[in-house]
Amino acid sequence: MKLSIQNNRIILNSICQLYILLFVYAAVSKLLDFENFQVQLGQSPLLSAFASWVAWLVPTIELILASLLLFPKWRTIALFAAFSLMIMFTTYIFIILNYSSFVPCSCGGILEKMGWTEHLIFNVFFIVLAILGLLLEKQQNYNWIGRMRPLSYSVTILFSLLFSIGVVVVLFLSSEEIMHHENPFIRRYPHHPVALTHTVDLKFNSYYFSGYANGRIYLGNYSDPLHVLSMDTTLQHRQQLKIGFNRTELPFRMVKILVRPPYFYLMDGSVPCVFRGTINNWKANQELKGCPPFTLAEPIDSTTIAFRNNNSKNGAHVLGIFNSGKLPKTRYAATFLQKQIDGIFDTDGMLQYSKSLDRMVYAYFYRNQFIVADKNGSLDYRGNTIDTVAHAKIKVAYLKGKSERKMAAPPLIVNAHSAVCNKLLFVHSKVPGRYENPKVWEQSFIIDVYDIEKNRYMFSFPIYEIGGKKLRSFFVTSTHLFVLLDTQIVVYRLKELLKKEIKSADRKNP
């Protein structure tokens, strides 16, 4: 009997020593590389919104429990707490592996040396050790746990288990809600949602993305406006297309070609004019008559154009819808673009259209806002990008009796470029968020992804620099991301995480 009691004490002491070793090692590892640990928590699908205080709380609790396990008087409480903490860690990993939208990087300490599945098994082993330790504590009969009835003991263990699981589930659901809809400027970076496949030097920086059709990307050229360059997704099988157009008497200043299958559009807002043709014969022979002047335009269908011009009061920007029909009609949405400073620079931005959602999207350059409206010009909502720049940080100088205006200082660009594919809005952000590595910002361009159907932030990913070249624009399809870096065009293949989100809109809008 004495031997059995002695063996129980040896096993119990060994369990406590293992837990002390685990907690001290894990806590010290986190604290020695605290900044990296906090960054990794910020990328967690479960704890992103709470990274600032969880990063301090976890190692603090681990060190406290390691200290309490040294003293027999506090060992029972410490074992219960250790059991609960390991249940939380295990629940966290289980949710990551089975319910998270992506699997993040590891979070320091021992976890950093293991895969997620291996650490799940590791945690289960320590949970079993904690239960065994509590059983041995009960058999010692010198404290309150030894006087508990078996049923009460089982209920206590079960309550600790359910409570610990519940805490993590609540944190997960709360964090997801905050990150998607009330993001505290914390980006999530899934593992490589895009993969570089091909790159080609175009020799000139006058190319721009015209559109995509039948597995081929189309590039317009500002220097040679009636020629379009077509390539497949491997950037091979190039084809130079000549647009048939005979209206040379028009005073063109900035011709732009947009490909929206089965049509292409030749347009110049300074004339103003919009001509349409099909990509089967490349002849711009159908004019959409009655078009107002515009500075930006995006085709909605064969007869309808979403546009922006500065015909409103004081020359401020305004969005509108033009329909060429039998009786050309223009509708202005005077309240869409909200003036903060001058109504022109502060409302400058990018106009996109999602065919699958029948929605136009306007993203501001200098503030954290975008607008989503239907094809009839009715506002759906005003969304926000995740940064905190709500007011444009620009300075405007007025010249020649206020008849001219210029930027008086370099502005803070918030959203530099954007693209829409189905229900997703892609924004090239210029503002670093919380818990981000400065080296990543030095070496890459950060793309934030938003679900415009649900008005929520999804995740972010970097496009890495190639030879220090500047990002000029990008274009997204259901399978590929095309990027113009100065004179180079770069193709990335979308991985399953992005393809799944894009295709979900296709299923809803066949």
pLDDT at 1: 40
Confidence of residue 437 (pLDDT cuts 50, 70, 90): confident
- Helix ranges (DSSP H) in 273-315: none
pLDDT exceeds cutoff 90 at 493: yes
Give dist(CA 268, CA 275) in Å, integer: 9
pLDDT exceeds cutoff 80 at 483: yes
Where is 223: in which H helix or E strand? Answer: none
Amino acid 117 reads: T
Where is 31: in which H helix or E strand? Answer: helix 2-32
Mean pLDDT of the chain: 88
Q: pLDDT digits over 191-207, tens only?
A: 889 999 999 999 999 99
**Length of the chain measured in residues:** 510
pLDDT at 510: 44
Structure tokens at 94: 């289980």
Q: pLDDT digits over 285-299, tens only?
A: 999 999 999 999 999
pLDDT-above-70 percentage for the chain: 92
pLDDT at 315: 78
Task: Give all strands of the β-sheet with 349-354 in edge-to-edge order.
Answer: 349-354, 359-364, 370-374, 379-383
pLDDT exceeds cutoff 90 at 20: yes
The model's pTM: 0.82
Give dist(CA 510, CA 504) in Å, integer: 10
108, 29 in Cβ contact below 8 A?
A: yes
Min mean pLDDT across 208-212, 440-444, 471-475, 502-506 is at 502-506
Give dist(CA 69, CA 71) in Å, integer: 5
Please tell me whether the peptide bond between 262 and the residue prior to it is cis, using omega within 30 degrees of 0: yes
pLDDT at 3: 46
179, 457 in Cβ contact below 8 A?
A: yes
Strand boundaries in 222-347, DSSP class E: 227-232, 239-242, 256-260, 263-268, 273-278, 286-287, 296-299, 304-309, 318-323, 329-333
User: CA 105, 109, 110, 111: dihedral to nearest 10 degrees?
Assistant: -20
Question: Residue 6: helix, strand or coil by DSSP?
Answer: helix
**Cβ neighbours for 166, distance < 8 A, ≥ 6 positions apart:** none
Confidence of residue 463 (pLDDT cuts 50, 70, 90): very high
**Mean pLDDT, to the nearest integer, of 470-478?**
96
316, 310 in Cβ contact below 8 A?
A: yes
pLDDT exceeds cutoff 60 at 509: no
pLDDT at 507: 46
Q: pLDDT digits over 226-257, tens only?
A: 999 999 999 989 999 999 999 888 999 999 99
Q: pLDDT digits over 99-123, tens only?
A: 776 666 555 545 566 778 888 899 9
User: CA 17, 18, 21, 26: dihedral to nearest 10 degrees?
Assistant: -140
Give dist(CA 334, CA 320) in Å, integer: 8
- Which of 503 and 392 is assigned the larger pLDDT? 392
